[in-house]
Amino acid sequence: MRSRLIAFAAIAASATATVPLVAQTPPQPKSAADGIAEYRKMLEDGNPAELFEAKGEDLWKTARGPKNATLEACDLGLGPGVVKGAWAQLPRYFPDTKKVQDLESRLLSCMQSLQGFDAAEIAATPFDKGEQATVTALAAWISSLSRGMKMALPQKHPEEKRAYELGKRAFFYRGGPMDFSCASCHGEAGKRIRLQDLPDLTKNPGDGVGFAAWPAYRVSSGEMWSMQRRLNDCFRQQRFPYPGFASDATIALGVYMGVNAKGAESIAPAIKR
């Protein structure tokens, strides 16, 4: 597997090698990497994620569920109702649930305790159906209020440190029919699948890359993807069984990647192929 990925990278690298310019010849065609960068830039203005941000804000402020309450008292780590900057510090430990929780997990807690929804039922609902769509829209809006801020996940509480170590172990855990791990694709710098550069998630891959680029609107499916959805798809691509929604393993992976991305500027919600 690893040698195949390196071969892909080599082929792609040679395809993008530029020819030296000679005066009086027409301008050289853009490299594939430049072409992709231009395409992404053209999509930046007018991200359909904005449609989900608007929905999310509405859902936060609307009384819903069996208890007919809003989510405005929900504590995302910075105090009840404080949304700005909360995304950049998640996942983190919460004293009331005594757990390290990511955004989606915390939304389940709040939707249950404040609004009376059944968290387990939402976790079992397919993505984009029913209250899962609510969680996704909320994630889009909440993350938008940390846009431009630097990832700063806390690592003070022993549970937060334990989650980091668990996440690291999960990241390097090889399994499934193809013997993949997250590290197979994201464990080294300079890797590529087709035209996608694969960020090295064992380190800080830079502003707006990797953990700092999700949630994101996926143009290929026309869907808004939360981090939980993105992780779910990673597991699918590795041919692993699907993880439980907001399970300990997925939260731990979020801690590992998020802590590694400390200082990276968040661009969420972003737009992706």
Partner 1 sequence: MPDPMRIRAQAAGDKTTVRVLMSHEMETGLRKDPAGKTIPAWFIQEVTAQLNGKPVLTAEWGPSVSKNPFLQFIVKGAKAGDKIAVTWRDNRGETRTDEATVS
Partner 2 sequence: MHSHTKTSNVDRLKETPMTNHLNRRMALARSAQVALMLGGLGLLPRTALAAYPTAAFEAKTIPDLMKALGAGAPVESKDVTVTAPDIAENGAVVPVGASTSLPGAKRLLLLVEKNPSMLSAAFDVNEFVEPSFTTRVKMGQSSNVLAVALMADGRVLYAQKEVKVTLGGCGG
Residues forming the site for partner 1 (CB under 8 A)? 45-48, 50-51, 54-55, 217, 219, 222
Partnered with residue 216 across adjacent β-strands are: 225, 270
Between the alpha carbon of residue 165 and those of residues 144, 170, 230, the distances in Å are 28, 9, 21
* Spatial separation of the C-alpha atoms in residues 61 and 225, rounded to whole Å: 21
Q: Which does 32 bind (CB under 5 to 8 A by kind): partner 1, partner 2, none?
A: partner 2
The residue among 78 and 195 lying less far from partner 2, judged by its C-beta, is 195
Task: Give the shortest CB-48-to-partner 1 separation in angstroms.
Answer: 4
Residues contributing to the site for partner 2 (CB under 8 A): 29-30, 32, 35-36, 38-40, 42-43, 54, 62, 193-196, 219-222, 237, 273
* Spatial separation of the C-alpha atoms in residues 229 and 249, rounded to whole Å: 14
| Residue 251 burial class via C-beta count within 10 angstroms: exposed 0-12, middle 13-18, buried 19 and up | buried
Task: Give the shortest CB-118-to-partner 2 separation in angstroms.
Answer: 20
The residue among 129 and 194 lying less far from partner 2, judged by its C-beta, is 194
* Spatial separation of the C-alpha atoms in residues 140 and 138, rounded to whole Å: 5
- Is 182 catalytic? The answer is no
The residue among 11 and 219 lying less far from partner 2, judged by its C-beta, is 219
Q: Which does 78 bind (CB under 5 to 8 A by kind): partner 2, partner 1, none?
A: none
Q: Quick one: DSSP state of residue 101? A: E
Task: Give the shortest CB-151-to-partner 2 separation in angstroms.
Answer: 23
Task: Give the shortest CB-251-to-partner 1 separation in angstroms.
Answer: 30
DSSP result, 204-228: ---TTSGGGG-SEEETTTTEEE-HH
Active-site positions read 234
